[in-house]
Amino acid sequence: MSLDEFFDSLEADQHARQEQLKDYALRLLETSTMRDDDEGLEEEIIQTQPTPERWREIFQRLQLNQLRCIDFTGWTKTEFNQSYKKHGIDN
């Protein structure tokens, strides 16, 4: 392996790592109390290349603002039955 190939593979790995961080951050944002009012955080995650320090700040903020299981809305009995019927399941 030449040095050029080595550095090309490192750059590809770094790009893949950035994409993984972005995907994970967006998943955390989706289950966060900030999902409706993220103050531009979603755009920052998608459009920029945050530094390691900024990633740490983003993840700390998202982890502190995660919804609890009881905060998620549940299906009503009617919604549940409608979903069954929609997918062809008779109950």
pLDDT tens-digit map of 21-66: 899 999 999 888 887 777 889 999 999 988 889 999 999 999 888 8
- Assess contact for 38 and 62: CB atoms under 8 A: no
Q: Categorize the per-residue pLDDT at 1 as very low, low, confident or very high, splitting at 50, 70 and 90.
A: low
The residue type of 87 is: H
- Assess contact for 25 and 61: CB atoms under 8 A: no
- Assess contact for 71 and 34: CB atoms under 8 A: no
> Does residue 83 register a pLDDT over 90?
no
DSSP label of 49: -
- Assess contact for 41 and 34: CB atoms under 8 A: yes
Mean pLDDT computed over 53-82? 79
Residue 34: how many other CB atoms lie within 10 Å: 17
> What is the Cβ-side half-sphere exposure of residue 15, based on CA atoms within 13 angstroms?
6
Mean pLDDT computed over 65-77? 69
Q: Categorize the per-residue pLDDT at 90 as very low, low, confident or very high, splitting at 50, 70 and 90.
A: low
